[in-house]
Amino acid sequence: MSPLDLAKAEELASQRQLMRRAFGQGRRWYLRAVLLLLVAGFGFARGGQLNVFIGAIMLILAVLSGSLGRTMRNNARAMKAKIKLMEAM
């Protein structure tokens, strides 16, 4: 591994910070998805037209937030791989 100059080391540090932030945001989107699923289940369990409608909307939002969380964590993994490659240079 070659020694890093100051600019490259700062760039890698900022990239690591962005990667950690993306992992955290992905985790929070997963938690939001779980919360939305709980609200949707509660709406479906209570029954009634309005509660079922709210449950359906929450279910759709839960799927979307889970997808966003997965995408953010995949992007963070890709950033982590890039950082390893940059360190190897």
Q: What is the DSSP string of 39-80?
A: HHHHHHHH-SHHHHHHHHHHHHHHHHHHHHHHHHHHHHHHHH
At residue 86, the pLDDT reads 82
39 lies in some domain: yes
State the residue range of the domain holding 84.
Answer: 6-88
Q: What is the pLDDT of residues 43-85, one digit of tens each?
A: 999 989 999 999 999 999 999 999 999 999 999 999 999 988 8
Residue 70 lies in a domain: yes
pLDDT above 50 (res 24): yes
User: What span, in angstroms and rounded, lies between the C-alpha atoms of 27 and 73?
Assistant: 8
> Is the model's pLDDT at 89 over the cut of 90?
no
Total domains in the chain come to: 1
Beta-carbon contacts of residue 33 (< 8 Å; ≥ 6 apart) = 62, 63, 65, 66, 69
